[in-house]
Amino acid sequence: MKLLQHPVIRHAMLAACGAASVLSFAPLYWAPLMWLSLAVLFIALASAPTPGAAAWRGLSWGLGYFIANMHWIYISLHTFGGMPAWMAAGCTVLFALYLALFPALAGWLAQRLPSPARLRLPLLVPTLFVATEYLRGWLFTGFPWANVGISQLPYTPLAGYAPVVGAYGVGLVLALCVAWLADGWRIPRRWAAVATVWLLGMGLQQVAWTTPQGKPVTVSLGQGNIRQDLKWDQAHFVDNLRTYLWLTREARGEIVILPETAIPAFLSDVPDWYLAELRRAVGRRHLVLGVPLLGRRPNEYYNSVLALTDMKQPAYSKHHLVPFGEFVPVPALFGWMYDFLNMPLSGFTPGAAKQRPFTLGQTRLAANICYEDVYGREIIRALPDATLLANFSNLAWFDGSWAADQQAQMSQARALETGRYMLRATNTALTAIIDEKGHIAARLGPMKKGLLEGQARNFTGMTPYAHLGDGAFLLACGGLLLGLGWRQHQTRSRETVV
């Protein structure tokens, strides 16, 4: 037991518990592991002797958590970006260290803010933890990857809360349940409270928040399986075009979707005969694909999606760009990285925050590109107009990792939050049809060239989350923190009177 009290051993164990959480996300979906990982963290933060000690404990857990969940950044930087291995590893650790500052902040605040000691673990620690998660998803354009609430979606009863309070709200419910049990696992009423939350979630899963419209629409999702090191190689340009022309000709769906930058060149540089062949292949059906577009000003270009069969419709241009991948946040500080990276078209211009869905017959299809589906608050901007969602991605940057599965799980969360089908068309994986309950109805395996043929449904109506966004979650966090502050004030007032 004395060995467990050693600071190095304690911090190593916290890091290991944080790292183990990666198994709670896709592709394994071992959701209970997140409960155990958070329980260890919350107990460690609540029992820390000082705010500084709590911050270090949060940092250790967070470092293990984010290295495990973001390990694929190394693959992007080194394997495909060409950065030296030692530098790519260092950048991955530094990024994980930055993200770990948020659970560290939660720990520091938990010991610093006034609160009744008996309420620190069951209420203050979990509320601050999820509040700092929200801050992580917002600050400096945000990076909400691997939010704890996502780990419970879509296969646990907590998924029932997603259409009501969103993924952050699910995270708050999860964190409070974990903290209640960690604080009094032998107290029957704590188990009863958690069981009530669980049963309520099961009941909410039975609610139809949105309404299907019209008959099912057939869709064809193309997956070219073009390696990242070949995608932008001019020597393979014709082969790339041939691949997606072949897939388009084989497609049978009313709506044919090809992934992000399926055409690896500016649309203005693509031969007219090729575009004509694509249109001829689909006839009177609809073809939507990813292609970079030049703007009107010098060095202005967009990561876009367009309806090639109806060029009168405005293209969708990616709004939320990837830091360090599609733009440099602070060139004076981070511009040096691009001396070591081989990233084509890394200076994209962001599109408008709100853009109209594509009109494809009876379908109003709202596009999102790459990791835009990580942001629930941005996806709901297309509602209520959109009847169907579609994500266009090229995840070949991370082949050999779980990144594609993790992002698909976030698409599952967006489907739940909006009550809409989400179609995913990717270059190498994970191409899938996700229904309005967040379940994967059909999928195409990784590293396969082919088409995913299936059906989707158009849905109308608005879930509570689509109406309120993250407002309900933020009000809940604010209410809990204010309530704790008031309770502490009352306690001190009674002590003064005595």
Residues 6+ apart with CB under 8 A from 191: 181
Place of tokens 């109308």: 460
Round to whole Å and give the CA distance between 387 and 215.
13
User: Is residue 36 a contact partner of residue 14, using CB atoms and an 8 Å limit?
Assistant: no
Query: Could you give the C-alpha distances from 100 to 103, 125, 251, in angstroms and in order?
Result: 6, 16, 45
Catalytic residue among 370, 372, 417, 437: 370
Q: Comparing C-alpha atoms, which of 195, 227, 157, 161 is closest to residue 416? A: 161
Which residue is catalytic, options 133, 177, 254, 260? 260
260 as an active site residue: the answer is yes
Contacts of 445 (CB under 8 A, 6+ apart): 429
477 in active site: no
Q: CA angle 49-53-59, nearest 5°? A: 145
Q: Is 91 a catalytic residue?
A: no
**Angstrom distance (rounded) from CA 24 to CA 31:** 4
Contact 446, 110 (CB under 8 A): no
Rounded to whole angstroms, the Cα distance separating 449 from 488 reads 61
Q: Which of 318, 372, 436, 437 is catalytic?
A: 318
Helix (H) or strand (E) holding 291: strand 286-294
Please report how the helices 85-112 and 51-69 are oriented relative to each other, as an axis angle in degrees rounded to 10. Answer: 140
Positions marked active-site? 260, 318, 370
